[in-house]
Amino acid sequence: MELATVLPYVQIVLSVLLMVCVLLQRTGASLGGAFGADNFSSGFHTRRGLEKTLFRATIVIAVLFALSALIHLLIS
């Protein structure tokens, strides 16, 4: 198979995985945080266990998606 035919399917899979990873992450800000009335310490917490793994997986998937988009741009 040629890379140009497989790459769009890879991008679809990566984009779905990226959306799932982003949606599964815990948000630290409440509605008041949008207006500056949030608790200062709520945005700063140590990621542990599954949360840390999910955070790193999100970064890796985002980088892979960006690289696949760049490769697709260079091929076409």
Residue 12 domain-assigned?
yes
Residue 31 has pLDDT above 70, yes or no: no
Residue 67 domain-assigned?
yes
Residue 36 domain-assigned?
no
Residue 37 has pLDDT above 70, yes or no: no
CA distance 42 to 7: 40
Q: What is the domain count for the chain?
A: 1
Residue 7 domain-assigned?
yes
Q: Between the CA of residue 74 and those of 4, 9, 25, 30, 67, what are the distances in Å?
A: 10, 17, 32, 42, 10
Residue 35 domain-assigned?
no
Domain enclosing residue 61, as ranges: 3-27+43-75
Residue 62 domain-assigned?
yes
User: Mean pLDDT, the chain, as a whole number?
Assistant: 84
Residue 38 domain-assigned?
no
Q: What does DSSP assign to residue 25?
A: S
CA distance 27 to 55: 12
What pTM, to 2 d.p., does this model score? 0.76
CA distance 23 to 10: 20
